[in-house]
Amino acid sequence: MSSEKTYVDLPGVEDLLGMCFIDRDLGRIALSPWSFGFSRLEFLGDAMLGLAVFSAAELMGLPRKTTTSRVANHHLDEIFFQQFATHTSANTGDVIEALIGAIYLDSGFDEAAALATRLCLPEFESLVPAASSETISSVNARGLALVGSAVLSASAADDLCTKHPEELHQWLSEERSEMLSRRYLAAMSAELGYAPEGDLDDDVYRAAASDALEAVIGDQYFRWGWEEARSSSMRILRLPAPEA
């Protein structure tokens, strides 16, 4: 196999990011969309990017429509061409997501989140793992639910990528959708006392009950950080669904 297929200017990208991969193979895979393992890193990085950017944007009070546009594919493509195009032969913003996934596996959430916010929210100077009570109080219940949803999504992505490293993006996405179904989250919310019991066939009830659970997870994330919120999320997601 040629060096072009296995190594695409990793040192140049590391210099640009101001970091160095401990596991060099992770960095190479992230810069090689044709390689085995890229899809997993992209899936994982997409989830981590969403959590980092949405949580930072909520603390900043940015309009949610603006935040959504910051993590959209077209915006990531623009960022890629501005910052990474001279260092790789790839031509897609998916590489950014894969890089964030690789950094998460290599150095942890804080490093991955710092890159995500630097690229997508350059006006956000630093990511604070545990926000102050005053800062949290500025985030309304809907904002907490959105962040909690992102925490659950990232937690499920991390769990699936660990257990199924050989699977591709589509399969991982489908499995995560099953794990995070509104029906399941609503049932668990009622089971844990975050929402009153109700009709799980009622769309309005499912949405409200799910939001209540997600708001609790979002609050935990802001108060205690990623690891605590992730552990709490996985304890919930591993519980069997209550019988209807």
Do 230 and 148 touch, CB atoms closer than 8 A?
A: no
Residue 133: the pLDDT is 54
Residue 21: the pLDDT is 96
The total of other beta-carbon atoms located within 10 Å of residue 22's CB is 10
Residue 128: the pLDDT is 46
Q: Which residue ranges form the domains of the chain, and what is each CATH number?
A: 1-127 (1.10.1520.10), 130-244 (1.10.1520.10)
Q: State which residues of the chain have pLDDT below 70.
A: 1-8, 88-91, 125-138, 243-244
Residue 131: the pLDDT is 53
pTM score, whole prediction: 0.90
